Amino acid sequence: MRRIDLNADLAEEQGDDDAIFPFLSSANIACGAHAGGARAMDAALALAARHAVTIGAHVGYPDRANFGRIDVDIERGALTTILVEQIRQLQDRAARHGRRVRYVKPHGALYHRVARDPEQAGALIDAVQATDPSLELLVPFSPILHTLAGTIPCRHEFFADRGYHLDGTLVGRTETAAHIVRIEAIVERTLRWLEEGLLTSVEGKDLRIEADSICIHGDSPLAVHVAGALHDGLVAHGVTITSWMAA
């Protein structure tokens, strides 16, 4: 794989967006529900325009107290309305910056929930169809999502800084092996994945991951260092960093 997208979750008012943007090809911009707000969106959109970074709507549960990381039981129609409002808010602001939202990525608990819950997955699909059917989805691999999405493309990502179980799920955030903090290890496992499509699970066995993008968590204290090291390591190995939508 000689081309790959590098994305991060931004506009969450949790990290240094200015420092991380130059390394990215895509930015998942929080839409004010789980974090962020109008000012954060505008700042991120301006940075995206400056650095020619592709824009995605990072939508989540309206649960700022828990940073959108706890499941919320909500009826499909109500969730659709909530997600539509978030996407349209970012679309409107992006237009003022001469930019266009190209994809949607769920955040936190919603990201994992739509992979296993047909009702909430359906709400996400309904929201995309209601706002712009040309939008793509950046989501976990899930037969449920692929079936419901129909003609809407589902893209997937490789989490460079997170531990994986052999079944392809992420190690829970409260567990010891959840986060990889040694930057050299993050770069090494990413390069191996690019070459072989494999990484070592926490169970010690190889796991194959199919993905179109590499994700960095923008709220991590190491986010800027990880982004810079990954960017430089990939480029040094002849990999072009570009949005999958530009491929």
| pLDDT tens, the chain, 247 aa long | 689 999 999 999 988 999 999 999 999 999 999 999 999 999 999 999 999 999 999 999 999 999 999 999 999 999 999 999 999 999 999 999 999 999 999 999 999 999 999 999 999 999 999 999 999 999 999 999 999 999 999 999 999 999 999 999 999 888 989 999 899 999 999 999 999 999 999 999 999 999 999 999 877 888 999 999 999 999 999 999 999 986 4
DSSP β-bridge partners for residue 103: 56, 136
Looking at the domain assignment, is residue 216 inside a domain?
A: yes
Residues 192 and 240: their CA atoms lie apart, in Å, by 16
Looking at the domain assignment, is residue 229 inside a domain?
A: yes
Looking at the domain assignment, is residue 56 inside a domain?
A: yes
Looking at the domain assignment, is residue 246 inside a domain?
A: no
Query: What pLDDT score was predicted for residue 98?
Result: 93
Alpha helices in the chain (DSSP H): 17-20, 38-51, 76-96, 108-113, 118-131, 143-149, 183-196, 223-236
Looking at the domain assignment, is residue 143 inside a domain?
A: yes
Distances in Å between the Cα of 30 and the Cα atoms of 40, 51, 68, 113, 129 are 8, 18, 11, 18, 20
Query: What pLDDT score was predicted for residue 90?
Result: 98
Which of 226, 213, 129 minimizes the C-alpha distance to 180?
226
What CATH number does residue 26 fall under? 3.20.20.370
| Structural domain that includes position 145 | 3-239
How many domains is the chain built from? Answer: 1
